C-alpha cells in the first residue's frame, strides 16, 4: 500500500525545522510521499489576511525549498478555497483524489499540535482518515495520548502511540525568522537558500509589523 504523509501549516515562511520534520517522518515511517499543504483561511486564524506572506508567496517558497526532492510535493487545495479549511475536509479531499491507488494517509504534526488535536473539528474522523504521525523532540512537551480517550478507539490510539517518530531538537520558528528579516539580521542556514533568496527578492517580512 502506498503511504502518503499530509503536512499542513502556515509555512510563513517554510524553514529547516519544517523540512527536518518532513524528512524524519518520511524515513522513520517509510512514507512514499509527503504533501505540504499550506493553510488558507484557517479555523485557528481569523482569515488569510493574517498571514504575513501571500498564499502564492508561501507556495512559491515551499516549491523552492523542495525542488529536486521527488518525495516532497505541495498542494494548493486549502489556499485556493475561499472558505475556512478544516483538516477533516482536506483529508476527505485527498481520499477522493486517490481512489485508484487507495493509499494510507498519515497526518504529520509536532507534539504541541497533537496535544491540541482533541479540540479540532471532528477530531475522531480526522484520526480515521489519517493516522496522526507525531514527531517528538527532546526537551519539549510530550504527546498526551490520553486526551484522545473516548475520541478514537483503543486500537487506533495504540497505533498512534507506536507510530510516533523521534527527531532532533531544532530551535527555529517562522516567527523568529520574520523578526530577523525585519531587523535586518541573517537567516542563512535557517531556511533553504532558495527561500532566503525569494524573501530578499520580494522584500517579504521587511516592515515593522512583526507578528
Separation of alpha carbons 132 and 31, rounded Å: 13
Average pLDDT over residues 150-167: 96
Count CB atoms within 10 A of the CB of residue 164.
18
Is a pLDDT exceeding 80 seen at residue 209? no
For the sheet containing 3-9, what is the strand order?
72-74, 33-38, 3-9, 104-110, 131-136, 165-166
Is a pLDDT exceeding 90 seen at residue 82? no
Q: For residue range 13-49, list pLDDT tens digits in order.
A: 999 999 999 999 999 999 999 999 999 876 765 444 5
Separation of alpha carbons 79 and 61, rounded Å: 14
Separation of alpha carbons 65 and 69, rounded Å: 9
Cβ 167 vs Cβ 19: under 8 Å = no
Please, what is the end-to-end C-alpha distance for the chain in angstroms?
Answer: 42
Q: Write down the pLDDT at residue 168.
A: 87
Average pLDDT over residues 153-165: 96
Cβ 205 vs Cβ 52: under 8 Å = yes
Q: Write down the pLDDT at residue 101.
A: 84
Average pLDDT over residues 128-153: 91
Separation of alpha carbons 18 and 11, rounded Å: 8
Is a pLDDT exceeding 60 seen at residue 136? yes
Q: In which band, very low, low, confident or very high, does the pLDDT at 146 lie, cut at 50, 70 and 90?
A: very high
Average pLDDT over residues 149-159: 97
Amino acid at each position: 500500500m502506498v503511504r502518503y504523509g499530509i503536512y499542513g501549516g502556515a509555512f510563513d515562511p517554510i524553514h529547516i525545522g519544517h523540512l527536518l520534520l518532513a524528512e524524519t517522518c518520511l524515513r522513520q515511517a517509510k512514507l512514499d510521499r509527503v504533501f505540504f499543504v499550506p493553510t488558507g483561511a484557517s479555523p485557528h486564524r481569523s482569515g488569510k489576511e493574517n498571514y504575513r506572506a501571500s498564499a502564492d508567496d508561501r507556495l512559491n517558497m515551499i516549491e523552492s525549498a523542495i525542488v529536486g526532492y521527488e518525495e516532497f510535493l505541495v498542494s494548493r487545495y486549502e489556499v485556493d478555497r475561499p472558505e475556512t479549511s478544516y483538516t477533516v475536509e482536506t483529508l476527505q479531499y485527498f481520499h477522493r483524489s486517490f481512489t485508484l491507488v487507495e493509499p494510507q494517509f498519515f497526518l504529520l504534526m509536532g507534539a504541541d499540535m497533537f496535544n491540541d488535536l482533541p479540540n479540532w473539528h471532528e477530531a475522531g474522523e480526522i484520526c480515521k482518515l489519517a493516522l496522526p504521525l507525531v514527531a517528538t523532540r527532546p526537551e519539549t512537551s510530550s504527546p498526551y495520548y490520553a486526551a484522545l480517550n473516548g475520541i478514537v478507539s483503543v486500537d487506533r490510539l495504540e497505533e498512534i502511540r507506536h507510530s510516533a517518530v523521534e527527531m532532533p531538537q531544532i530551535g527555529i520558528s517562522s516567527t523568529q525568522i520574520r523578526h530577523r528579516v525585519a531587523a535586518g539580521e541573517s537567516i542563512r542556514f535557517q531556511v533553504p537558500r532558495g527561500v532566503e533568496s525569494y524573501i530578499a527578492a520580494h522584500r517579504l517580512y521587511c516592515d515593522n509589523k512583526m507578528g
